[in-house]
Structure 1
Amino acid sequence: MNLPVTQRHFLSFSRKLFLSVISLFLVFVVCFIAYQYQREREYKVELLNTKLQDYNSRLYERLDEQPLDNGIINDYINNHILEDLRVTLIDLDGNVVYDSYPNHDEQMENHLNRPEVQKALKHGNGYDVRRTSETTGVPYFYSATRYKDYILRSALPYNVSLINNLQADPHYLWFTVIVTLLLMIIFYKFTNKLGTSISQLREFAMRADRNEPIEMAMQSAFPHNELGEISQHIIQIYKRLHETKEALYIEREKLITHLQISHEGLGVFTKDKKEILVNNLFTQYSNLISDSNLETTEEVFAISELKEIIHFINKNQQQRSRGKDEKRMSITINKNGRTFIVECIIFQDASFEISINDVTQEEEQVNLKRQLTQNIAHELKTPVSSIQGYLETIVNNENIPREKINVFLERCYAQSNRLSRLLRDISVLTRMDEAANMIDMERVDISVLVGNIINEVSLELDEKHITVVNSLKKSIQVKGNYSLIYSIFRNLMDNAIAYAGTNIQININCFREDESFYYFSFADTGVGVSPEHLNRLFERFYRVDKGRSRKLGGTGLGLAIVKNAVIIHGGIISAKNNQGGGLEFVFTLAKEK
């Protein structure tokens, strides 16, 4: 079983580093102390040996001046006293000639095998440390020197005094211990700072691994050293990568959303023809082109109508190694009464995109635009012809009475007003079609707006004996364009005044409200329209009664403007006949757009 990281590591990295380095350092210190102690002790031994060698040399000089005599040796020893010093003369055969020990008269064994004697015979001098004398049973420090005819050996008892003399100086031990402790403290502080940096970096790595936010406090917690600076740079790099990742994720979501709501079928595939991303329209259009329903997206490559696209993809993959740059191909497919444009784009990594556009509706829209242009020309022709005819009559007939001229001019003025309204309505529709996203939005109080419209048309209402019942509550507010919302209620009001008849009632009401929409009803108790006309009321230039509409000065665009304005404000509109008579428009407006 894998334990968590916090449970596996009993000691932090800094503690391990501190303990491992200090352990090596302490081993070094112990070795150094042992070596220095031994060296110091050897130095003391050499110093004592030198001193005894010097004593041997001076004794030899004295003996060399006169014949060998035990009395002379005793006098010299007594005059140059070293406490408990023992002097021995040994001939070159190892026989003891003289020994200052009190029992020296006793027969002593041969000393040729003594270490200091052997060293003296071989090197000229030698010493032996702490060897027990076979004669006295006391341990001595021996120092022997070879001369021409004999070996002169001096010895000091290896007692407490000599032991203390030969011991190493303890001061360097205390110095070494103090320096070691100071270095341990300094190294502990250093490793502690290093451990802090590593712990902070470790915490950052764990946060990054869990995709948690990096707090500003963590960035300032790093020590001011090289590792802290490196950690800061790592965090900055991570933050930039995280921001880039977030930006890429947002762009990816935008792309996916765009693909899903796109008006064309889009499919992105790997070089092995595996699906990466496909929207619903691509699947729908593929099924319309195919003779059988596709169970998987990859089956699109088996559609016979797309064989040119498939051949293009395969050919491009074969030519990539030869540096070919052909990356795009488009074909047109007519199937089941529809026209599709299929386009393939190949990317640098050999993945590719296939888009399918249903252009059937676009062709219909071209026809509708052609018909709309004809309608506009026809609508413009009528008032222009009327104005031109009246003016020609006035210009070509000098004897027309003034009263008749005034009648013609009034008719010209009425037709020019109609022409102006027509051009204005066409301009409004064009602006809504081409620049709906550029319309300025503000908070609009519909209750106040409808009240103002009722006041503006009060004279016309009185002329036709029309009563308006405004049931809108106060402070119904939406975010929208004031002019377009005004045109919704004004055109509905003008339409009712113009066509509903006299002695009627207009009811304006907001009958429902939810989190997203207001639901409005604009109804009259007038003549209504035949059911076959209801679905076409919002078409441009459509008239229920063409002759009567033109006589009343209508442009045939008012309800089209209403529908487009409602759509721009996130709503829908429909028309129906009331059961008690009259026409009712039901529409919604979004609260926030």
Structure 2
Amino acid sequence: MKKLLFKYYIPLFFIFSFAVLAFQYNREKQYKADMLNTLLGDTNDMIYNYFESKNGSLAHIDSLIAIFPHSDIRVTIIDLKGSVVYDNAIQDVMHMENHLSRKEVKLALQNGNGSDIRTSHTNQRRYYYHATKFGNCYVRSSLPYDVNISSLLRPDNLFLYFWLALTFIIAAVLFYISNKFSIKLNREQIEHDAMVRRRLTHQVAHELKTPLSSIIGYMETLHDNPDIAPERQRFFIERSHAQAERLNSLLQDILMLNQINEAPQSVQMEPVHLNKVVQTVLDDVELKLQEKNIEVYTSFGGDIWLKANTILLYSIFRNLIDNAIAYAGENIKINLTLTGEDAKCYHFAFSDNGIGVAPEHLPFLFDRFYRVDKGRSRKTGGTGLGLSIVKNAVELHRGTITVKNKNGGGLEFIFSLHK
């Protein structure tokens, strides 16, 4: 949970925070620029009104400008053709360039008002310009872009500091909460894992004890009775071998389950021809099927290719068939059918018409070492891990599996395998 929080939610929170900060910063900056534009726009209105009241005369306009609060304000009057007719900072305006190409004038032509910050072509001084278009001319006021104006336009950093502090406080709170819950969850997970391991260790020890005790008992009998009849010696050796085979099967199943659960990333996936895998399983169990007079019918409707692990795919179908051979009874039929497919998965049904199981056992059939009839299960030589391997292998292939009793008898496994 902690890892997920910091991988997804914390970055999103910071992105949101900085987006809000950038929006507010630009908003504050625009607000300050609007204040300065309003000030210079009012100046332009005063100059134009005075200019019009004097019927276009420029007399005494310098006296008006002298009473403005900014002593270094520069005022320029430009006719509609772009020629400068007055500039309080320049004596000889006749030699000034045409001003229609100036950015603030172009903006004033389009919008009625326009602003720009740049170096003057006339006196090489940097100004903040604001121009207003009137009926017969443009009036432009400007202030030197010095420390005072730069400070005036600079956004208030109080909100910046407040938001940054708030962002880091919230991040610290989230870190504390996630760390606290992570510790709690980790503790619970550790306790749960320890309990599962204890239970699994107990189950494994219990399962290993039976074949080991049998082997030790048979070997001690042979060791303590060297003159025992050859037929009896052969019986004990065969029984020891059978128990050793069961022990080996149990260890192999445990190792397979551990690999699926503990290191699924180590399982190699490759294109696999499912029809061939199923046929290999049927060839391997042919003698067992004949002994119990069991018929197997497959219906795939064509070739099926999966991106899968061949060994685990074999284990799925081998364990399903072994389970049916061991527990479904004799003279039965097994059906393995492709029931459908979608964009992601193939869907299968594996069923038999055997004896089935009592409904109360169905929820536990995929549990490790669960046996419906413990005495009978041990006689068949099963490890109690077959269906657990099936479920874990199906899920590793990004599929699902369920089991139910069929109407009329027998079990039906419904499962899917990712393409």
Q: Conserved in 2, the CA contact under 8 Å of 1:492 and 1:559?
A: yes
Report the residue type matching 2:312 in the other structure.
L
Partner of 2:250: 422
Partner of 2:29: none
Task: Give a deviation string over 1:76-131, Cα, whole Å, max 9, x none.
Answer: xxxxxxxxxxxxxxxxxxxxxxxxxxxxxxxxxxxxxxxxxxxxxxxxxxxxxxxx
How many residue pairs match? The answer is 257
Change beyond 3 A, Cα 1:378–1:270: farther
Q: Distance in 1 between matches of 2:407 and 2:164?
A: 60
Q: Conserved in 2, the CA contact under 8 Å of 1:466 and 1:505?
A: yes
SS of residue matched to 2:306 = strand
Q: Distance in 2 between matches of 1:576 and 1:270?
A: 59
Give 1:432 deviation, angstroms: 1.1
Q: Distance in 1 between matches of 2:403 and 2:245?
A: 29
Partner of 2:220: 392
Listed as ranges, the matches of 1:446-525 within 5 Å are 446-525=274-353
Task: Give a deviation string over 1:312-331, Cα, whole Å, max 9, x none.
Answer: xxxxxxxxxxxxxxxxx965
Q: 2:207 aligns with which of 358, 379, 391?
A: 379
SS of residue matched to 2:364 = coil
> Unpaired segments of 5 or more residues in structure 2?
1-162
Give 1:460 deviation, angstroms: 1.1
Task: Give a deviation string over 1:349-374, Cα, whole Å, max 9, x none.
Answer: xxxxxxx7364344223211110011
Q: Does 1:590 align with 2:418?
A: yes
Task: Give a deviation string over 1:208-237, Cα, whole Å, max 9, x none.
Answer: xxxxxxxxxxxxxxxxxxxxxxxxxxxxxx
Task: Give a deviation string over 1:5-24, Cα, whole Å, max 9, x none.
Answer: xxxxxxxxxxxxxxxxxxxx
Q: Distance in 2 between matches of 1:510 and 1:433?
A: 27
Give 1:519 deviation, angstroms: 0.5
Q: Does 1:542 align with 2:370?
A: yes
Q: Distance in 1 between matches of 2:164 and 2:383?
A: 55
SS of residue matched to 1:357 = helix
Partner of 2:382: 554
Q: Does 1:570 align with 2:398?
A: yes
Give 1:387 deviation, angstroms: 0.3
Give 1:413 deviation, angstroms: 0.4
Listed as ranges, the matches of 1:34-433 within 5 Å are 271-272=165-166, 309=176, 331=180, 340-342=181-183, 357=185, 359-433=187-261
Q: Conserved in 2, the CA contact under 8 Å of 1:469 and 1:507?
A: yes
Q: Distance in 1 between matches of 2:283 and 2:165?
A: 68
Give 1:582 deviation, angstroms: 0.3
Partner of 1:225: none
Give the share of equivalent positions with the same residue, in percent.
50
Partner of 2:126: none
C-alpha RMSD of matched pairs (Å): 2.5
Give 1:438 deviation, angstroms: 1.8
Give 1:276 deviation, angstroms: 8.1
SS of residue matched to 1:374 = helix
Give 1:273 deviation, angstroms: 5.3
Change beyond 3 A, Cα 1:271–1:357: farther
> Unpaired segments of 5 or more residues in structure 1?
1-268, 278-297, 311-328, 332-339, 343-355
Task: Give a deviation string over 1:539-566, Cα, whole Å, max 9, x none.
Answer: 1111111111111100111111111110
SS of residue matched to 1:462 = helix
Q: 1:440 aligns with which of 264, 268, 282?
A: 268
Q: Distance in 1 between matches of 2:216 and 2:246?
A: 14
The answer to which structure, 1 or 2, has the higher relative contact order (CA under 8 A, 6+ apart) is 2
Report the residue type matching 1:407 in the other structure.
F
Q: Distance in 2 between matches of 1:275 and 1:465?
A: 74
Q: Distance in 1 between matches of 2:229 and 2:185?
A: 65
Report the residue type matching 2:416 in the other structure.
T
Q: Distance in 1 between matches of 2:311 and 2:319?
A: 12
Give 1:376 deviation, angstroms: 0.6
| Higher radius of gyration, 1 or 2 | 1
Task: Give a deviation string over 1:434-458, Cα, whole Å, max 9, x none.
Answer: 2211211111111221122112212
Task: Give a deviation string over 1:361-404, Cα, whole Å, max 9, x none.
Answer: 44223211110011111111111110000110111113321111
Q: Distance in 1 between matches of 2:169 and 2:397?
A: 38
Q: Distance in 2 between matches of 1:443 and 1:270?
A: 53
SS of residue matched to 1:574 = strand
Q: Distance in 2 between matches of 1:499 and 1:558?
A: 12
Q: Distance in 1 between matches of 2:294 and 2:252?
A: 27
TM-score by length of 2: 0.58
Q: Distance in 2 between matches of 1:580 and 1:517?
A: 29
Report the residue type matching 1:506 in the other structure.
I
Q: Conserved in 2, the CA contact under 8 Å of 1:270 and 1:276?
A: no
Change beyond 3 A, Cα 1:403–1:372: same
Report the residue type matching 1:429 in the other structure.
L
Q: Distance in 2 between matches of 1:536 and 1:423?
A: 22
Change beyond 3 A, Cα 1:546–1:275: farther
